[in-house]
Amino acid sequence: MPRSGSLIYRLDRYLFRQICLALLAVTGGLTALIWLTQSLRFVELVVDHGLSLSFFLEMTGMLVPSFVAVILPITTFVVIAFTYHRLAGDRELTVMRSVGLSPWGLARPAIAVAVLATLVGYLLSLWIVPASMAAFHDLQWELRNRIAAFLLQDGVFTQIAPGLTVYVRSRDPDGTLQGVMIDDARKPDAHSTLFAERGRLIQSGSGPQVVLSDGSRQEIDFKTGRLNVLTFRENVLDLTDDSHRSAREPDSSEVSLHALLDPHLGNPRDVPRWIAEGHKRLTAPLTALSYGLVALVAVLTGPFKRHGSVARPFAGVLVMIGLIAAQLIAGDLAARDNRALFLLWVEAILPGLVCAWLLFAPMLRSEPLPRAEFRAEPAR
């Protein structure tokens, strides 16, 4: 390999390594911050209800791929803009320009990182995120319908399921419940209230149950208006929500791309939203490449200054804010009316095409490349 080719290869590798390491660090740090803020709503399960730390980490860890898929295009822009701006401030870009690197030569490592981020985005969007969200919703459904009855708090009215409220005065170390009251309104025509001195929770094949001892059952007969009171020595009550006995209905975030683009739903009103979700999975990863090109235009175009420029990166940040807002608006419009689906593709592809033209059109027209000028500075 000629000496100049070897130098260019080393510069490409240097820039690629700088951008990749920064992208991993920024994406990892921001993901950890989002995970920390989102997992706070599950801390109560560990602190107040005694669930294990491993269960907490397993449940919240399933949300991490969705966080990465959302922030990866944004961190790609931030890292590329920051890296090239730092290189300009350290005069490293000045040296690279002085050896004759073209705009394509300077942008090539960043574009390679942006393409890599796009491929990772597709891997997350099409496979990893749907699988992780399906596992998360399964675990959440299991927690709600199988374990929720075991999360009763002393002295608190707890709604186990719609129409089913349980109150426990205290809980013994062996798990025996003292002073139990249950208001069961799951069947409007058979609304009843049960009181018991003691109770214990058991797990059956159909779900959680409570075995009540030495209590009474009060129920109003709607035909006669009389209050019927039945005392018992022992009574077993099923605490499972009847509306959730059947299989859980999948959410749009956890199904395959084919199921989103060709949905067969019981409620036709949800069809446009599912189709829009499918197109979001196809277009969202492309924004990593577009946002990377926006960052390159912000730091590599315009009048060349050895010390860099703050105005262009700041303008790039404003453009990014506008693109993110446009993405949210396009997604909302497409979910309401699928005739607006083209807006998702326009928002994902058009900024990248425009920025690529601004960045490389002068080179295609064979315009002279800006050379770094070194001027002697007066001694202080």
- The gap between the terminal CA atoms of the chain, to the nearest Å, is 44
Angle between helix 286-300 and 64-89 (nearest 10): 20
Identify the pLDDT of residue 96: 80
**Ranges under pLDDT 70 in the chain:** 1-5, 44-51, 100, 144-151, 204-207, 240-248, 302-309, 362-380
Q: What share of the chain is helix, strand, coil (3-state, %, to 5)?
A: 60, 15, 25
Identify the pLDDT of residue 202: 79
Q: What pTM was estimated for this model as a whole?
A: 0.75
Identify the pLDDT of residue 101: 75
Contact present, 349 and 118 (Cβ < 8 Å): no
Q: Which residues contact 59 (CB under 8 A, 6 or more apart)?
A: 42, 136, 139, 140, 143
Q: Is 50 helix (H, G, I), strand (E, B) or coil?
A: coil
Identify the pLDDT of residue 33: 94
